[in-house]
Amino acid sequence: MDRILIRGGNVLRGDIHISGAKNAALPLLIAALLTDEPVTLSNVPRLADVSLLLRILRELGAETALAGRKAGESPFTGDTVRIHAPEIVSTTAPYELVSKMRASFWVLGPLLARCHEARVSLPGGCAIGTRPVDLYLKALEAMGAEIDIEAGYVIARAPGGLKGARIVFPKVSVGATHVTLMAATLARGETVIENAAREPEVSDVANCLMAMGARIEGIGTSTLHVTGVDRLHGAAYPVIADRIETGTYAMAAAMTGGDVLLRNARADILDAFIEVMDEAGVSVTEEKDGLRVRRCSDALLPVSVETRPYPGFPTDLQAQLMALMTRAEGVSTIRETIFENRCMHVQELARMGADIRLNGDTALVHGVEHLTGAPVMATDLRASVSLVIAALAAEGETELNRVYHLDRGFETLEKKLSAVGADIERVSG
Ligand code: UD1
């Protein structure tokens, strides 16, 4: 199994290219199942999760082709993926594949909308909480689907097709919004989705669906109106820049007192994060080609943050912020309100000398003068990258194990970081 070795202490300086967002690319690839014409997505990140999803789409009958430059080439222009599903040959998404990545469960929406039936394994994914699917199933039932759970599979049928409905989500869910939105594009009549997730990746999918001929109003707001159409057509669409990768490298730069330009990054989808950085004494400013990140002072200042659905502070940046705050001058309060088990990085950060006191969903992070390199273990995608941020400022060497978590969501992480001066290498075996 691969490991990553990091020797801390180097200051990061230079440019990092921000890739397309994993959390947009996955549902966009899935949305391509809604049409029998080709959908061509550009700026798709090369990630283990994308490869796995393409495998699942092929099982269902889609043809997939990759084109474009690879990451690390200069200039990086992103990658292009063409998905063409002229015919859905299977409406079953098997356990062996879906259990490896939660987002693949979302094929349920297009399969049901296009084929009027689907058999999809209940999902797996990161071990960050129980992550139920009740909201998805209730929404599809409201649209006329009959749903049974048998032997770990969701069996959904909508003889005669889905019909429009008014759906009020009791809780904001990104995945349930994606699935309901995709399903509604081909349903008969109007669907209103209230308390919809407003994440930029949801809007990205909605905009792509519009390019495919869907009729959607209210994109970017918490109420989406979808008027079903008989069929969708092909489209070419670029994946939005990854705001989580942007925030992660911004905090990596801030941790080392560096000065980094995040090329292709967008400030308008990171307001809450930029405000927190400001409070921490880190300046994030817009430039022509992206965002520049610099520390404004020698010391990092403590912050008080709660994770919230967009436009709030993203849960996917919580672990990285906690790592950054281990070196702040004072005590930070970080509360996780989205997932109940998303603090597994606390123990690993403690192995590096961090002083974090966890009380329920709230962590009190007491800044320390030094972190020390140590062997640590990645437990989930975002937690693992928080250990990388800590390691960049730690004295000595950190050995990060189970890096397959990182490969799921960060494209060529060690190349991007070593290009701006980090002492980081991947060791195979
Ligand atoms: C997506 C993101 C993930 C991010 C999360 C929250 C992708 C591929 N993943 O995950 O990176 O951390 O949004 O921003 O885009 N819930 C229910 N019932 C349901 C569905 C969800 O109770 O049927 C709960 C979850 O347990 C969680 C909360 O709702 O507590 C939010 O989860 P959700 O927004 O659905 O997360 P994902 O779509 O899985």
pLDDT tens digits, residue range 310-357? 999 999 999 999 999 999 999 999 999 998 877 788 999 999 999 999
Calpha distance 410→59 (Å, rounded): 25
DSSP reduced 3-state for 388: helix
> Per-residue pLDDT tens for 258-304?
999 999 999 999 999 999 999 999 999 999 999 999 988 889 999 99
> Per-residue pLDDT tens for 384-399?
999 999 999 999 999 9
Q: By C-alpha distance, which of 310, 358, 351, 298 is closest to 334?
A: 358
CATH of domain 3-15+242-427: 3.65.10.10
- Which of 102, 172, 174 best tests ligand 1's pocket when mutated (most atoms within 8 Å of CB)? 174
- pLDDT at residue 130 tops 90: no
* Predicted pLDDT at 302: 98
**Could you tell me the two tokens for 376?**
């640590």
CATH of domain 23-238: 3.65.10.10
Q: Provide the edge-to-edge strand list for the sheet that holds 375-377.
A: 375-377, 397-401, 3-7, 423-427
**Which atom of ligand 1 is nearest the CA belonging to 197?**
34
- Which of 335, 338, 385 best tests ligand 1's pocket when mutated (most atoms within 8 Å of CB)? 338
Alpha-carbon torsion (382, 428, 354, 270), positive or negative = negative
- pLDDT at residue 126 tops 50: no
- Separation of 173 CA from ligand 1 center, angstroms? 5
**Mean pLDDT of the region 209-220:** 98
> Per-residue pLDDT tens for 137-156?
999 999 999 999 998 899 99
**Could you tell me the two tokens for 122?**
């209940």
DSSP reduced 3-state for 196: coil
> Per-residue pLDDT tens for 151-179?
889 999 999 999 999 999 999 999 999 99
Calpha distance 31→355 (Å, rounded): 44
**Mean pLDDT of the region 360-389:** 92
* Predicted pLDDT at 71: 54
Q: What is the pLDDT of the chain when averaged over all its residues? A: 93
- Separation of 185 CA from ligand 1 center, angstroms? 21
- Distance, C-alpha 417 to centroid of its chain: 20
Element of type H or E holding 63: strand 63-68
Residue 126 falls in the annotated catalytic set: yes
Task: Using alpha carbons, list the distances in angstroms from residue 346 to 364, 380, 404.
Answer: 11, 12, 20
User: What residues contact residue 73 under an 8 Å CB cut-off, 6+ apart?
Assistant: none
Please indicate, yes or no, whether the overall pTM of this predicted structure exceeds 0.85. yes
Residue whose structure tokens are 């994308």 = 50
- Comparing 66 with 53, the larger pLDDT belongs to 53
Bond prior to 75 in cis (omega within 30° of 0): yes
**Mean pLDDT of the region 211-240:** 98
* Predicted pLDDT at 131: 65
* Predicted pLDDT at 124: 59
Calpha distance 143→164 (Å, rounded): 6
**Which atom of ligand 1 is nearest the CA belonging to 136?**
23
Calpha distance 367→325 (Å, rounded): 6
**Which amino acids bring their CB within 6 angstroms of ligand 1?**
23, 26, 102-103, 129, 131-136, 171, 173-176, 201, 315-316, 338-339
* Predicted pLDDT at 69: 57
**Mean pLDDT of the region 72-97:** 82
Return residue ranges of the chain for CATH 3.65.10.10.
3-15+242-427, 23-238
